[in-house]
């Protein structure tokens, strides 16, 4: 979804998200949290990558050019940028979890570095925005059915054995991120994950998205959604 704002877009960082109001859907009471996929400040446009998995998101993808959408943005905290262009950054995404990694990859490329993207999906048709990712770095792919790239899961890709990375950013299904986090801990690599806890308000008021961490219970929408794996109480 490409949204053009009537006012100047504020500064946004990769990993932040938008709370989108869903109109004309009587069964959808809450806004939908959607990761920021890309920002085009020259055109004053915001890009969101939306999977139509429920009534709310199905209604959003039915919108036509010219219709208005009510959004709260930017919300949450984003990924930590590398301290130097010399850092080898690996950006791992699964499904629509690849969305914030495109914006992050562009920002890293603007530093003069070349990020490595590793994207996974069940089948080739679910590998999204491949040409856009290739604009900013090296792209490697996996599919569970072997229809494109290497067969299997992202954490089994050969690039992980061929190249040493200094920093990992990942977003996608929790089992995938858990596997990536275990790899990062084992290899002593700095790793941040973008959590996809259920959210309601997006502002830290409803306590719907609470995650238990080394710092206690936190609202992912306010303290996250991006967190360093050292703060998580995951079984690593």
Q: 50 is written with which tokens?
A: 């939306």
Q: 142 is written with which tokens?
A: 């996996």
Outline where 15-167 has alpha helix (H): 55-60, 99-110, 130-134, 159-162
Rounded Cα gap, residues 207 and 198, in angstroms: 10
To the nearest 10°, the Cα dihedral for 203, 207, 210, 212? Answer: 120
Reading phi first (left if > 0) and then psi (alpha if -120 to 50, else beta), residue 129 is in left
Please report, in range form, the residues annotated as the binding site: 32-35, 56-57, 201, 206, 209, 221
Rounded Cα gap, residues 201 and 211, in angstroms: 15
The backbone torsions φ and ψ at residue 138, rounded to the nearest 5 degrees and listed phi first, read -80, 135
210: Cβ contacts below 8 Å, ≥ 6 apart: 197, 217, 218, 219, 220
Please report, in range form, the residues annotated as the binding site for FAD: 32-35, 56-57
Please report, in range form, the residues annotated as the binding site for [2Fe-2S] cluster: 201, 206, 209, 221
């Amino acid at each position: 979804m490409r949204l053009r704002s009537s006012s100047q877009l504020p500064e946004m960082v990769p990993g932040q998200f938008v709370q989108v109001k869903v109109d004309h859907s009587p069964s959808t009471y809450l806004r939908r949290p959607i990761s920021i996929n890309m920002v085009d400040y020259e055109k004053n446009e915001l890009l969101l990558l939306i999977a139509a998995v429920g009534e709310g998101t199905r209604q959003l993808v039915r919108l036509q050019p010219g219709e208005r959408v009510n959004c709260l943005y930017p919300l949450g905290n984003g990924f930590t940028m590398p301290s130097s262009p010399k850092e080898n950054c690996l950006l791992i995404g699964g499904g629509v979890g690849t969305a914030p990694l495109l914006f992050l990859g562009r920002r890293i490329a603007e530093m003069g570095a070349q990020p490595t993207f590793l994207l996974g999906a069940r089948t080739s048709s679910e590998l999204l925005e491949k040409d856009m990712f290739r604009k900013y770095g090296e792209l490697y792919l996996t599919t569970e059915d072997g229809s494109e790239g290497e067969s299997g899961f992202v954490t089994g890709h050969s690039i992980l054995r061929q190249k040493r990375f200094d920093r990992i950013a990942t977003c996608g299904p929790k089992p995938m991120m858990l596997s990536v986090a275990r790899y990062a801990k084992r290899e002593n690599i700095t790793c941040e994950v973008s959590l996809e806890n259920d959210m309601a308000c997006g502002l830290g008021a409803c306590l719907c998205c609470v995650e238990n961490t080394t710092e206690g219970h936190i609202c992912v929408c306010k303290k996250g959604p991006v967190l360093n794996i050292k703060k998580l109480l995951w079984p690593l």
